[in-house]
Amino acid sequence: MNLQDFLAMEESRERDELIDLRSLDLVSEYDSHLMCPICHCPFVEPVRLQCDHVFCGSCLSSAINSFRSADSDEFPCPSCRNPTQKVSASVPRLLINMCDEIRVLCPLITEGCQEIIPRGHVQSHVEKYCGYRLLPCPDNSCDQMTRSKDVGMDQKCIHKVRRCAHCKENVLEHEYEEHEKELCPVLEVTCADCETVVTRGALQEHIESCPEVAIPCAASKYACPVKIRRADIAAHEQSCPIVAMGPYFETQNARLKSLESSMRHLQQRNEIFEDGLANIRSTLFESTRLGANSHSGGQPPQSDREQQSSARVDAHTDDPADLAAGVFSSNATTYLLSLHESLREEVSQLSHAITDLDARASMAIMNECMRIKEDIAHTNAAVNSVRMQVQWLMNPRLHQGTRGGAVRPSSTESEGTRTNMASSVAGPSHATGQSLGPLRPRRPSDSGREGTKL
C-alpha cells in the first residue's frame, strides 16, 4: 500500500488496547534484531518497507509524518534513507512470533500480580485471567474499585462497612463473618478449665487467675513433680518439703556458681603458669646442653650437676609430699622429649632437602659439563682446522726457506712478525741441524702450534 493508505490505516487503527506494549518490563533478553530502531523496543505490529527494513507501525507513521516533505509520495527510510513509496504490512510470521514470545511481567504488578507471561498474551491475560485487574464495584451505588479476584459469584459490594454489634468496630462487609466468629474481642468464650464464660478480650487475663487451671508447684525446678489446680496449689506448697528447702537450694546454687567461676579462673591461671614454666625449663635445658657441647672440657662438673639435679628429682619423687613437683618434672621431660623428637624430624627433613638439592645440583653440573665438553670438542676441531690451514699456508714458505736456507738471515726483516718469530726460532735450529734433513719440515709447524696455544 502507498504512504497515504498506510497513514490512514494507522490513524484509523483502534487504540482500544489497555496496555502499552512498549512500557512493559521485559524479563528475558531478546535478540537485538527484534528491536525497532526508532523506539528501541521489540517490534509492535511491525511493517516492512521496500528496502526490507522493519519498524513498528506506529513508529513508522510518526517517522513519515516528520520526514516527508509536504504531500510527496516518497519518504526516506529511517534506517538507510532509501526513498520509499510503499509500506508492506506483510512481515514474516517468524518475526512476529519471536516478538510475541518475549517474556514480560504482568503490567498489574503494581496491584500485586507476579505473573510472567509471553508478550503476545499480555492483552488476554490482563483482560481475562489476571486476578488483580481493578473492576468497578458490582454495586452501582459504590464508586470504589475491586480486584477481579475479590468479586465473588454473588456480585456483592465488598466495600460496605458494617458495624459489629458487639464491639462497635467498623468492619468491611466481606470480612464481617470472620470477625464475628473469631476476631471480635467482645465475643464470649468459655474457659476450658473452669467453664466460666468470659469475653475473648479478657480470656488471657482469666487464664492467669483461673482457679481451675493446673499449674506446677513453685518448687518444680527442684524436681517436685506435682502439678495441680491453682486453688489447691497453696495447700500443697505449705506441705511440700521441697518448697521448704527452696531458699537453701537457692543459696547453694549461688555458691556453686561462684565457686565454679572462680575455679575456671584459677584453672586458666594455672595453665598460663605451666606454660611459662615449661618454656623456662626448655630454655634452661637447651642452654645447659649448648654449654655442655661447647665446653667439652667443662663437661665433668656439668654432668655432675646434672646427676645431682636428677638425684634431687629422684629424691623429690620419692618424697610423697612433693609428688606434684615430680609429676611436673615428668611433664617437662615429656615436653622436652617431644621437642627433641620434633627437632629430629626437622633435621631429617632438612637432610632430605639437602640430598635433594645435592642431586639437583650435581645433575645441573653434569648437564653443564656435557655442554662444556661439547664446546671444547668443537673448539678443538676448530683449532685443528686452523692449524691445518696454517700448516698449508706455511708449506710453500717452508719450502722456500729450505731452498734458500743460506740467504735466510738477511731476508727475515721483510717477513711478518709472527711467522718471522717462528722462522727465526726455526732459523737457528735448521742452521745448526742442517744435516737432519727429514726433521726440518716439522719444526716450523711445531712452533706454529706453540703460536696458536699462546
The site for other proteins (CB under 8 A) is made up of 22-23, 37-41, 59, 62-63, 66-67, 78-81
Beta-carbon contacts of 187 under 8 Å, excluding residues fewer than 6 positions away, are 166, 180, 181, 199, 200
Fill in the amino acid letter for 116: I
Structure-block grid coordinates of residue 257: 556458681
Q: Which is nearer to other proteins, 50 or 267 (CB)?
A: 50
Q: Which is nearer to other proteins, 62 or 391 (CB)?
A: 62
Q: What is the spatial distance between Cα 99 and Cα 28, in angstroms, rounded to a whole number?
A: 11
Q: Which of 183, 179, 202 is nearest to 191 (CA)?
A: 202
Q: What is the spatial distance between Cα 76 and Cα 6, in angstroms, rounded to a whole number?
A: 15
Task: Tell me how far, at minimum, the Cβ of 127 lies from other proteins, in Å.
Answer: 23
- Residues paired with 216 in a beta bridge: 227
Q: Which is nearer to other proteins, 38 or 226 (CB)?
A: 38
Task: Tell me how far, at minimum, the Cβ of 40 lies from other proteins, in Å.
Answer: 5
Structure-block grid coordinates of residue 160: 460496605
Q: What is the spatial distance between Cα 375 and Cα 368, in angstroms, rounded to a whole number?
A: 10
Task: Tell me how far, at minimum, the Cβ of 114 lies from other proteins, in Å.
Answer: 24
Q: Which of 391, 374, 411 is nearest to 452 (CA)?
A: 391
Identify the sign of the CA torsion 8, 9, 12, 17: negative
Q: Which is nearer to other proteins, 62 or 333 (CB)?
A: 62
Contact assessment for residue 184 and residue 170, using Cβ atoms and an 8 Å cutoff:
no
Q: Which is nearer to other proteins, 34 or 278 (CB)?
A: 34
Task: Tell me how far, at minimum, the Cβ of 39 lies from other proteins, in Å.
Answer: 5
Q: Which is nearer to other proteins, 38 or 339 (CB)?
A: 38
Fill in the amino acid letter for 394: M
Q: Which is nearer to other proteins, 54 or 332 (CB)?
A: 54
Longest dimension (CA), the chain: 160
- Helix, strand, or coil here: 299? helix
Q: Which is nearer to other proteins, 80 or 266 (CB)?
A: 80
Q: What is the spatial distance between Cα 10 and Cα 411, in angstroms, rounded to a whole number?
A: 119
Q: Which is nearer to other proteins, 23 or 170 (CB)?
A: 23
Q: Which helix (H) or strand (E) holds 125?
A: none
Q: Which is nearer to other proteins, 69 or 435 (CB)?
A: 69
Task: Tell me how far, at minimum, the Cβ of 55 lies from other proteins, in Å.
Answer: 9
Task: Tell me how far, at minimum, the Cβ of 6 lies from other proteins, in Å.
Answer: 17
Q: What is the spatial distance between Cα 410 and Cα 417, in angstroms, rounded to a whole number?
A: 15
Task: Tell me how far, at minimum, the Cβ of 32 lies from other proteins, in Å.
Answer: 11
Task: Tell me how far, at minimum, the Cβ of 35 lies from other proteins, in Å.
Answer: 10
Beta-carbon contacts of 83 under 8 Å, excluding residues fewer than 6 positions away, are 74, 75, 76, 77
Q: What is the spatial distance between Cα 415 and Cα 421, in angstroms, rounded to a whole number?
A: 9
The backbone region for 223, taken as left when phi is positive above 0, alpha when psi lies in -120 to 50, beta otherwise, is: left
Task: Tell me how far, at minimum, the Cβ of 36 lies from other proteins, in Å.
Answer: 9
- Helix, strand, or coil here: 24? coil
Task: Tell me how far, at minimum, the Cβ of 354 lies from other proteins, in Å.
Answer: 55
